Structure 1
Amino acid sequence: MASRRAVASIEDVPTETTYLFTLRETDTDEEREAILVRNDAGIYAWLNYCQHYTHIRIDKGSGAEMRGEEFICENHGAYFESDTGFCNFGPCEGAYLNEVDVAVEDDTVYLTDDDYEFVRAGPIESDATDLESKSNYKF
């Protein structure tokens, strides 16, 4: 098991939206975003990319919309179950989000996934000179 890194205290993970953080893939050094989702059964972590178009982020920096124990990709209207990552409605219905392993101990959420290293709370720091289109169509 990888050395654990504290991601957030349980108090920092909201119940009505998602908590965004940045990871680094251990094999490639590529930074990726992930979200923590809290429900009555616990706290779960998923990579922050919709399965309809995987370059679209679910949490764009202000939390994903929640309806009960589901969170929503506002770009496509896809609904994801917070505890399984399963898309039960929308254009990627039947797909699953990519899980990130976390554990909760002593009121703290720890990253326990060997594939990633914790970088920081919040989104990937963007390059101000990146002028690439973020639409689904590449120009």
Structure 2
Amino acid sequence: MTNRHRLTSVETVEDEGAWLFTVRDAHDTNQEVMLVPCEETGVTAWVNNCTHEDQRLYRDEIGVVTRDGGIVCPKHGSIFDSCSGGCENGPAADTTLLSVDVTVDDGSVYLTDDAVDFLWKGGDSSDDDDSGPSSTSHLTF
């Protein structure tokens, strides 16, 4: 589907803590994808959904909450490793976020996943409900 599409710079992802974009998959479904810093590769790309429940990990108002190199689910507090996508705690334990292939070249991040097409920077507002994600957590950020 896609060849190589420049998304942003590694510096932008590091400065902002994450960078959100929307793709269309082979089933003609829009998916939000987030770029997050990773010490091993510069950045990694993950579908913006907790594996435990349909819960966005990146939110427009706060971006991505991270702790000790992990992405924190705002609903139950499960923490996904930013580099591997794996989770070892909470309700999402023993699962891994869905990855999207990106390549870092000369400080720029490129979408290189043949299974998706880049649509736009930012989230997919077509499925927004104004209520926002629910939370049973007592975590505050």
Q: TM-score range by the shorter chain?
A: 0.7 to 0.9
Q: Which residue of 2 aligns with 1:112?
A: 112
Equivalent pair of 1:15/1:39 in contact (CA under 8 Å): no
1:22 aligns to what? 22
Contact 1:15 1:37 in 2 (8 A): no
Q: 1:1-139 maps to which residues of 2 (within 5 A)?
A: 2-14=2-14, 17-25=17-25, 27-41=26-40, 42-53=42-53, 55-61=54-60, 62-126=62-126
SS at match of 2:92: coil
Size of the aligned set, in residue pairs, is 133
- SS class of match (1:87): coil
SS in 2 for 1:76: coil
Decide which structure has greater helix share. 2
1:18, distance to aligned residue in structure 2 (A): 2.1
Q: Secondary structure at the match of 1:45?
A: strand
Aligned alpha-carbon RMSD (Å): 2.3
> Secondary structure in 1 aligned to 2:14?
coil
Point out where structure 2 has 5 or more consecutive residues left out of the alignment.
136-141
| Residue-by-residue CA offset, 1:78-134 (whole Å, 9 max, x unaligned) | 100011000121101000000100000121100111111111111112367x67996
- Return the TM-score normalized by structure 1: 0.84
Report the CA distance shift for 1:73/1:122 in structure 2 as closer, same or farther (over 3 A).
same
Structure 1 unpaired stretches of 5+: none
